Structure formats: C-alpha cells, structure tokens
Amino acid sequence: MRLHVIGLGGAGGRIADRLAADHDGDPFLAGVNAFDTDMDALGALDALGEERRYRFGDAAGGDGLGGDLHAGRRLGDAHASELGRAMDDQRPSRAEAFLIVAGLGGAAGAGAAPALAEELSRLYDAPVYAFGLLPTPGETEEPDGDDDPASAAAGSDAAGSGTDPATPHRPLAERNAARTLDALSDRCAAVFPFDNAAWLRPAETLGGARDRLNAVAVERIAALFGAGETPEGMETPQQVLDASDIARAVGGDGEITAIGHATQRVESPEGGSRFGLGLFGSSEPAEVDTSEAVSAIETVIRKAARGKNTIDVPEGRADRALLVVGGPPPWLNREAIADGRRWLAEETGSDAILSGDAPIPDGDAVSAVVVRSGVDEPDRIHEIRETIR
C-alpha cells in the first residue's frame, strides 16, 4: 500500500528520518514529513531534506515545549491546517493511508497528533493510523544526583530522546501518554503502541538504546505496510495484500493493534536442470526440500506471534489478525502457510484471519508479519491509563 508517514516531535521526526534513510524509493513509502517546534531537533535529521521538514508553533520560540502537553494541544489545534498544507509537496492525495508517528510522553508530537489526525481525515478519504512510542517507567522517576534541568527538558518525546545517553526525567510522561492515547483512539482508525520498556536490554538506558529502538520500530512499520508492494518486474504475490486488507484487519475504531515480525535465513536454491543448459542456455531452479520449507514457515509464524511484539498482547488473544509470509518463492509452501493461518486462528481465538504473501525472488530469508487488533488491554497500557484515573 502507498503510505504517507508524518513524524511529529523529536521521536516521530527521528523515526520518519530513519524510514527515509532505509526505504526512500520503496514502492510502499509514498511520502515522508517531519514536523516539530524544535529547530535543533529538525536540524539534526539526516535523510530528510529541508523540503520535507517543517517547524511550526512560533509561540515556542524554536525550542521544545518542556513536556507541556496542553501547550502542544493548543499549537496542534492552531496549526493543523498549516501542517496539512506543508505536506502538499509530497502529494498526499496519492496515499492509501497515513501514519502519524509520535512519542506519546512528550508535548510537541503528542500534543499535535490528535489535531493533525482529524485534519487528515477531513481532507482525504484514507485511514489515519498512529504509531506511538510509550514512555518508560524510569522517565517519571526522580533522577539521581543534580541533573541539568535543561538536559531533562531536552529529552522531548522519543524512544531514547535527547543527546545525553541517560534516561531523561519527564515526570508527566505517563500522564501525557494516557491522555494522548485516548485522543488518538477517538481520531485514528487504529493505534500501534511501541513499548520502549519491553525492548530495553538489562542495564541499557533509554538514551543509549535510541538508535536500536528506532531501527526496530522502522523494521516493524516497513514489514507491515511494505508487504503488499512489489517493485516493478518482481513476481506478483499469489495472495495480494492491499490497503483494504490492512484496514479490515486493524479495524476503524481506534483499537490497540500489535505488530509481530520474525525472519529466518534460508539457502536460495541454485539454478540447475535435469537436461543441462540446453539449446538456449536456460536452466530450471532447483526445488526446495518440502520439509525444510514447512519448518521455516512454521518457525517464523510462531516467532512473529509469540515473540516480542510492538506491545505485549495478553494471552495472544485478538478479535482480528493478519498474517503475511514472505521470502524466496520456492520457499513459500502454500500448505504450510495455510496451516500457519489455522494455527494463528487457534492462537488468537479469532476466525477473522486475513493473509497474504510477499515473494522476494532474490531474498535470503523467510519472514512473517503477524498483526493483531481488538486485543485485551495490555498491562503497560493499563498502567499508563491508571495515572489519570
């Protein structure tokens, strides 16, 4: 599907920049923009040129908002139309969906996201999704020692925000996230939370993990939204995944949605023929051992479902699910994929399972994407919501 990505605030801008760096030119990425009140944060982006970056909110004086969500909301309401116009050079009318990416614990991105989602829904007949980075519990705790207040304020709204490798102190981060989740659920077709805390390694700080977490987030976004798009000249999937399939899988009521992803390297079958090179030098591809293909597909589906998702899914249950299996065509065993779909139906307790395939002729891995929507409230979301109840 053709996806237009808008990074809002420090975290969202970095994710959008990483997407552009890794996937500019890929068929699924129809447009990318980064919007922020902080001039320094925008200036630090590498892959997005000035034409795709835009500072809004003169009232902020070119700086961040220091965690003031109410200020972010006011700026979002005042500048939503302006941000919509700032996207015009990227031809947003081509998009089949929009993805707003923001750190939910900050102010600029979290504050402006609901208003921009509403504006995009008003302008275009395409679903608006939100990918929100959840703050970690450590961000709300009092820092040890005499931290520089300016440094804490600079840790705006990111997975590993700020330039200091230490975890930024943001006492209102969880409350900001709770309020923003509610606002986005009311205005977006689906919300994809990314639980930073679950992805941190032992003794790893949020700041130190920033680049790695951003890479994980980008990998998940590309794996899902890029699954149905194949470059010109490549093999067409037998089960084509399009924008309407994703829309049906995630729903349209702002539900929490989780993305799982797994890959396994495989050997590409070498060319060979029972008849040698033949008159025209042609060759037939060697067949893949069926048991190996079945094993690889079963493994990646189970890892995608039961491994670490963007947000933990209680007991794996979901109202709806989407399965996409990709890799070199000889490895895409149809029976194994059908078995995986049946297994996923049992795993999620849902009969509403959509599926597709993503053939990659020159690929060296089999992959699976599992998307679950209509899930029971994850524990981390519950903890965050409790801060305002």
CATH code where residue 287 lies: 3.30.1330.20
Number of Cβ within 10 Å of residue 99's Cβ equals 26
Say yes or no to pLDDT of 315 above 90.
yes
Mean pLDDT of all residues belonging to the chain: 88
Q: Same structural domain for residues 277 and 216?
A: no
Q: Which residues of 131-146 are buried (b: 16+ CB within 10 A; e: fewer)?
A: bbbbbbebbbeeeeee
6 residue type, one letter: I
Asked if residue 149 and residue 88 are part of one domain, the reply reads: yes
Q: What is the DSSP string of 348-384?
A: HT-SEEEEEEEE-TT--EEEEEEEEESPPPPHHHHHH
pLDDT in tens, 158-170: 444 434 445 667 8
Query: Does the structure show a pLDDT above 80 at 228?
Result: no
Q: How much is the pTM?
A: 0.89
Strand 3-8 with 97-103, pairing: parallel
Please check whether residue 354 lies inside any domain of the structure.
yes
- Structural domain range at position 19: 3-226
Q: Which two tokens stand for residue 377?
A: 């409230």
257-297 confidence digits (pLDDT tens): 999 999 999 987 664 333 333 334 444 556 889 999 999 99
CATH of the domain at 55: 3.40.50.1440
Specify if 288 maps to a domain. yes
pLDDT(185) > 80? yes
Do 219 and 159 have their domain in common? yes
Which residues are CB-neighbours of 307 under 8 A, at least 6 positions away?
Answer: 260, 262
pLDDT on residue 171: 85
User: pLDDT tens for residues 358-389?
Assistant: 888 888 999 999 999 999 999 999 999 999 98
C-alpha pair distances (Å), 113 with each of 38, 45, 273: 16, 20, 57
| Same domain, residue pair 145 and 184 | yes
Q: What is the pLDDT of residue 235?
A: 56
Sign of CA dihedral 172, 75, 66, 99: positive
Backbone angles phi, psi at 222, to 5 degrees: -65, -35
Domain annotation covers residue 381: no
The mean-pLDDT minimum among 7-21, 239-253, 332-346, 362-376 falls in 239-253
Question: What is the DSSP secondary-structure string of 143-196?
Answer: PSS---HHHHHH--SSTT-SSSSSPP--TTHHHHHHHHHHHHHHHSSEEEEEEH
Counting Cβ atoms within 10 Å, is residue 315 exposed (0-12), middle (13-18) or buried (19+)?
A: exposed
Q: What is the pLDDT of residues 43-95, one digit of tens each?
A: 999 999 999 999 998 877 666 788 899 999 999 999 999 999 999 999 999 99
Same domain, 196 and 70: yes
> What's the pLDDT at 389?
83
